């Protein structure tokens, strides 16, 4: 009888403790579902279309206004996912499956070559090339994804896709080395387009949140000219700096951290 009572007491306490947090599957579903509004907005809102049209118009204008350097051809660097390719069907798949992003499901999705052009992207790239510039596709997709990525771009009519112009991640996610390779080849990069501050190289790469905000304000005159930011509320390096060790938190801790960071104060730098 004593053994039975002890077992029941232990079971009761364990149940209470389990109720104090989310279990692993529920935590994964909760975090994934938090992206629903963001994915809906990108896939369905007219405001999103207006913002990308605005971004491409600014990029064209910045390219046209950029000074020519004798002996150097003007170039524009573009990121891929959520910059010229819409890959939100991957995020939609995650939401429907209640599954967070991981290497396995991303590789499987990329192999299907399902990314579609962001409206205006192909026309923009053609504009740059037809007006004497070169385009470089610089992405942190892994080199293992190279052929599928190249196929996906060519299938949708993106021009000048080659081993010279399509530069994927090799050893580091910092794109600066790839930018340096482009400039060393005789190009003058006049515009960078991306949906993540890390798409603009060393200046913003892996800086902490407060420093990132400070750097954005210091470089405010360059946005809309040298740096063109594309809208992406779904994912990005901003999430990794929500707390000092956000990537190292478990799922429950990430949920709690997000909840604590939502506030009713006005935006402060």
Q: How far apart are the first and last CA of the chain?
A: 63
Q: Tell me the three state secondary structure of residue 246.
A: helix
46-65 helix and 36-44 helix, angle to the nearest 10 degrees:
70
- Whether the per-residue pLDDT at 10 is higher than 70: the answer is no
Rounded to an integer, what distance in angstroms lies between the CA atom of residue 63 and that of residue 128?
8
159-204 pLDDT per residue, tens: 999 999 999 998 899 999 999 999 999 999 999 999 999 999 999 9
> Would you place residue 209 in the very low, low, confident or very high pLDDT band (cuts 50, 70, 90)?
confident
DSSP letter string, 62-112: HHHHSPPBTTBEEEEEE-SBTTTEE-HHHHHHHHHHT----HHHHHHHHTT
141-155 pLDDT per residue, tens: 999 999 999 999 999
Task: Give pLDDT, residue 210.
Answer: 85
Total-model pTM: 0.89
Rounded to an integer, what distance in angstroms lies between the CA atom of residue 15 and that of residue 20?
9
Task: Give pLDDT, residue 170.
Answer: 86
Domains of the chain as residue ranges with CATH: 24-235 (3.40.50.1000)
């Amino acid at each position: 009888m004593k053994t039975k009572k002890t077992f029941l007491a232990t079971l009761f306490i364990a149940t209470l403790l389990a109720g104090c947090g989310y279990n692993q599957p529920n935590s994964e579903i909760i975090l994934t579902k938090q992206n629903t509004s963001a994915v809906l907005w990108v896939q369905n809102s007219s405001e999103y279309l207006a913002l990308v049209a605005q971004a491409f118009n600014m990029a064209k204008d910045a390219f046209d206004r950029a000074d020519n350097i004798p002996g150097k051809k003007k170039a524009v660097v573009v990121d891929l996912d959520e910059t010229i390719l819409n890959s939100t069907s991957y995020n939609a798949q995650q939401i429907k499956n209640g599954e967070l992003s991981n290497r396995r499901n991303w590789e499987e999705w990329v192999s299907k070559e399902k990314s579609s052009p962001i409206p205006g992207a192909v026309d923009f790239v053609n504009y740059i090339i037809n007006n004497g510039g070169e385009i470089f596709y610089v992405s942190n997709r892994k080199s293992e994804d190279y052929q599928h990525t190249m196929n996906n771009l060519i299938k949708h009519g993106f021009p000048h896709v080659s081993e010279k112009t399509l530069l994927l991640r090799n050893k580091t996610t910092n794109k600066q080395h790839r930018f340096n390779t482009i400039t060393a080849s005789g190009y003058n990069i006049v515009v960078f387009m991306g949906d993540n501050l890390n798409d603009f190289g060393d200046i913003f790469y892996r800086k902490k949140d407060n420093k990132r905000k400070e750097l954005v304000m210091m470089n405010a005159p360059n946005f809309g000219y040298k740096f063109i930011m594309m809208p992406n509320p779904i994912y990005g390096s901003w999430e990794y700096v929500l707390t000092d060790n956000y990537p190292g938190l478990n799922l429950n801790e990430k949920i709690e951290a997000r909840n604590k960071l939502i506030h009713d104060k006005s935006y402060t730098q």
